[in-house]
Amino acid sequence: MLSRKVNIGIIGAGNIANEHIKGFLQFPEQCEITAITDTKLFVAQERARQHGIKHAISTTEELIARDDVDAIIICVPNQFHAPLAIQAMEAGKHIVMEKPMGINGEAARQILKASEAYDRIVMIGHQRRWESIAMQIKEQIDRGELGRIYSAKTGLFRRKGIPGWGTWFTRSELSGGGPLIDIGVHMLDLALYLMGNPKPVSVYGAAYAEFGPRRKGIGDWGIPNWNGIYDVEDFATALIRMEDGSTLSLEVSWAVHMDTDNTPFIHLMGTEGGASYRQDYGKLLTEKFDQPSELLLRVPEGDEGERIRFCRHFLECIAEGKQPLTSARTGWTNNVIMDAIYESSRSGNEVKLKWD
């Protein structure tokens, strides 16, 4: 725990780092962003100039070793999450980790073990748990209004949205996968959370690469590298079964021929009620007097936003010495499930999960 301001360092100065910076800058009394680094030093220097960050550092090693850095935000390709997080925790730093926690389940397990060994806070960047509609639904779930949630369906269909073709996003050895590990992990994490974190026991899944290898389905995010590699999926689907008998259906795409509004969704089916959620729109559904009944959920006017609440929670965890809502254990759980989806797709068989 720290009784003074939390000094934050950032590894990786790209677009997602900018989102974190804007969030933490809302808490000048609780924290200060003191240093930033990037493999392209000029990018770090420009980000530092833009936001008034004191130090643009040339190497990750130098940033991690600094005495004026208490916590580190890791915003780099997935392959480097585990080695950087472990190195930072060894140096006594707390961590905000962009999703997914690891490139695979083994990397995530190493991060979890390090967080326990060094007693450091690791918070995964699943800010959707702090979206207003999701929080309103969770409040009703915790009150028992939905009863027992026995099934859920979640996903996100991008019709034409492959990011940065040929960059690290589409190269398995750097990213670990395609839309499943990129955007699907957000929906997996939020659905499990809203279901009450039941224990997953088996997975049946499939992954397809029907667009990317043909250089179709390209989105407008990132700059393509046509000399690069595309060896990940562009669509994934899975059925996850829990120890209590409940099920979760997950579908996600970067590119697909279907009628879609490119909006994340979750449908929760409970014995006493249900909930539907689509970004800034939600409904609670039940039956009253033998008739269907529903309540529309709205984002309150002037809502501060999920990233502000995310940043506040991280600072509170450091100040109070408590585990974050999106802890290293939840990140590891997500990675294990995604590994199983890919394994099931390769083998064509159901995969039983092992939690040792």
CB 167 within 8 A of CB 14: no
DSSP string, 284-315: EEEEETTEEEEEEEEPPTT---HHHHHHHHHH
List per-residue pLDDT tens for the chain, 356 residues long: 566 899 999 999 999 999 999 999 999 999 999 999 999 999 999 999 999 999 999 999 999 999 999 999 999 999 999 999 999 999 999 999 999 999 999 999 999 999 999 999 999 999 999 999 999 999 999 999 999 999 999 999 999 999 999 999 999 999 999 999 999 999 999 999 999 999 999 999 999 999 999 999 999 988 999 999 999 999 999 999 999 999 999 999 999 999 999 999 999 999 999 999 998 899 999 999 999 999 999 999 999 999 999 999 999 999 999 999 999 999 999 999 999 999 999 999 999 998 87
Q: Nearest CA to 327 among 108, 132, 135?
A: 108
Q: Nearest CA to 122 among 163, 76, 86?
A: 86
Q: Nearest CA to 128 among 78, 183, 199, 74?
A: 183
Q: Whole-angstrom Cα distance, residue 194 to residue 149?
A: 9
The pLDDT, as a whole number, for residue 356 is: 75
Phi-psi region of 21 (alpha: psi -120 to 50; beta: other; left: phi over 0): alpha
Q: Whole-angstrom Cα distance, residue 189 to residue 180?
A: 12
CB 283 within 8 A of CB 276: yes
The pLDDT, as a whole number, for residue 3 is: 62
C-alpha 324, offset from chain centre: 14
The pLDDT, as a whole number, for residue 316 is: 97
Q: Which two tokens stand for residue 74?
A: 């890791």
DSSP 129: G
Indicate the SS3 state at residue 345.
helix
Q: Which two tokens stand for residue 190?
A: 């939020």
